[in-house]
Structure 1
Amino acid sequence: MKAKLGMSPIAWWNDDLVELSDDVTLEECLSQSRSAGFTGMEKGRRFPDDPAVMLPILKAADVTLCGGWFSGTLVDEELAVNMARIEPMIELFKAVDAPCIVYGEVGRSIQGQRSVPLAQKPRLDESEMKAYANKVTQFGEWCAEKGMPLAYHHHMGAVVETEAELDAFMNGSGAGIPLLYDAGHLAFAGGDVLGVIDKHHKRIRHVHVKDVRMGVIEALDRTRQSFLDAVALGAFTVPGDGSLDFEAIVQKFADHGYEGWLVVEAEQDPKANPPEKMAEVGHKELLRVMGAAGYTVETQGFPKQ
């Protein structure tokens, strides 16, 4: 089995907490992750939106674009509104040969609001979840028809956060909306990180190998502290530096024949946790556990012409 290893630039620049950002250029970010061994990088706010500008940067760094976040609002807004917003992103991602766009629901979400505690996350009743899941499926099918599949990101503070909410969403949605499995968000939400892979592996298209520091999470007062408070306190980290058993997680993916991207997404203070060093820690641990599971990790970065 083959797999590819990528990173998210959120380790270098945090879009929601500017104070958790390192003063490095896009070229430096790509160079540091590539020197650690990663061949892909998800899109961040310092990436250009013009493929004619982005492609030479990726080629020079020997890195491919392996995904990127789209802030969806389908829980509140119409399909047409989201279609109009994502269409330029679809064309960009097609031009640079990215594997998928990550759909993150921000409608009603508290994930970016530091003043709103975790306990006040939005919730959908059964009928609302069914309607929402159907709407997201339609959107995913439309994006796939345009040539760029989505991967749905369950997320702390959003309408699909817990394992039960993810199950309800998956049961109400269809194959037109694949799943992004995020180990860290699932663990933070109290979910079964291995059981969810068993339940939903057929729809998992993209994987975030985010680790957590359970001591930080367990100490949170969810009636007072927000998701961003947890991030600032160090709730997340890279594989090999946290609490999750990635040997078991990766073995579970191997058992189900997953082949694709595994992306390290670990937002934390870059001064206390230098991104280049953390990239090396995460890559070393992933190589170890993927080798144990029988994976061959692809080493080619930017596709050779």
Structure 2
Amino acid sequence: MENIKVGIAPDSWGVWFPEHEKQTPWYRCMDEMKVSGYDGVELGPWGYFPNTNPMLKNALEARGLSLVAGTVGGDFLDDASIDAMCATIDDIAALLKDFPEAKYIVLLPAMYTDLETGVQVCDPNLTGAQWAIYCKNVQRAADRVASHGLVGAFHPHVDCHVQTETQIERLMDDTDVMLCFDTGHHVYGGGEPVSFYQKHADRIPYIHIKDCDLAVKAKMDAEHWSFAKAVTEGIMVEPGKGSIDFAAFRKALDEKGYDGWVVVEQDLFPVKSFDLPLPIAQRGRENLRKAGF
């Protein structure tokens, strides 16, 4: 079936922040996204790619790329953070209206560890009262996206309060939010992505393709590495090099009639060289092709 299109996110070029001296320049990243064989892109951190038109539109059209989604993060335990998140959602939505395939804004939760240092910044366990606030604010952000005619897709994530299958299902029970289902984060959190997708396909309109090396994960657990440290040790790998059977995942998508984009992400921050991401992205695209994507 040809109903699934494959895009890629700036994460695969080591981009975690709007600006950082260790990140690939945006124009090189966008050039290489096309060269590596992908048809669509996510915005990544708001402000990394140009976030005004016609600058963004011209840059994408010059490379023959579609914009698929925007991304925004926030601390769902903090109402003030969600105030700011909703303001950014409004800005992203205003930009996305010029891109007919960009139907999603990915809602990223704050981690309970620092993204660069791995130091724990808040308790990984929530009280019942905190969980109620968390769900209220996830719903609030998703509703704000919906007010613009777009879909807010919550992204379960490493080292956040919603990463295991039990936590994800609890969130789905307590909100009506849709998921941005990330295969690599799901495996990292101890889940099995094919069966989970089959069970919850009706809540999964948008997918991130990521692979996880469970041998590195085992070493991480044994030696108590931070996620930031584990990334430098190669815990997230190009699709087809880790633990996930992407041919089986593709079969499950077909059986459920998935119709849309899958977007490859690979955590690479910080890249040791700006020459590193392109061949990795190319290999990942070829592996996905062999798996039917």
Shorter-chain TM-score range: 0.7 to 0.9
> Displacement of 1:164 after TM fit?
1.0
**Partner letter of residue 16 of structure 2?**
D
Cross-structure match for 2:97: 94
Q: What is the TM-score normalised by the length of structure 1?
A: 0.84
Do residues 58 (structure 1) and 60 (structure 2) align? yes
After the TM superposition, which residues 4-15 of structure 1 pair with which residues of structure 2 at under 5 Å, given as runs?
A: 4-15=5-16
Counterparts of residues 72-151 of structure 1 (less than 5 Å):
72-78=74-80, 80-97=83-100, 98-106=102-110, 109-110=112-113, 112-116=115-119, 122-126=124-128, 128-151=130-153
- Code of the residue aligned with 1:8 in structure 2: it is A
Whichever residue aligns with residue 3 of structure 1, its letter is I
CA distance in 1, matches of 2:180, 2:266: 15
1:269-288, aligned counterparts within 5 Å?
270-271=271-272, 274-288=276-290
Q: Residues 80 and 271 (structure 1 numbering): CA distance in 2 closer, same or farther, change over 3 Å? A: closer
Match of 2:184 in 1: 184
SS at match of 1:95: coil
Per-residue deviation at 1:260?
1.1
Question: Superposition RMSD on alpha carbons, in Å?
Answer: 2.5
* Aligned counterparts, 1:209-224, within 5 A: 209-221=209-221, 224=224
Unaligned segments of structure 2, at least 5 residues:
none
Which 10-residue stretch deviates more, 277-286 or 91-100? 91-100
* Partners of 1:143 and 1:149 within 8 A in 2: yes
| Residue 255 (structure 1) aligns with | 255
Which segment is superposed worse, 84-93 or 150-159? Answer: 84-93
CA shift at 1:219, angstroms? 0.6
2:159 paired residue number: 157
After superposition, the C-alpha distances for 1:246-289 in whole angstroms (9 at most, x for unaligned) are 11122112211111111110022644882211122111121222
Match of 1:37 in 2: 37
Q: Which amino acid is 1:84 matched to?
A: A
- Counterpart of 2:154, as a letter, is Y
- How many residue pairs match? The answer is 285
Q: CA deviation at 1:53?
A: 1.0
The amino acid that maps onto 1:199 is K
Match of 2:245 in 1: 245
Q: Does the CA contact (< 8 Å) of 1:117 and 1:227 recur in 2?
A: no
- Runs (4+) of structure 1 exceeding 4 A deviation are 16-20, 269-273
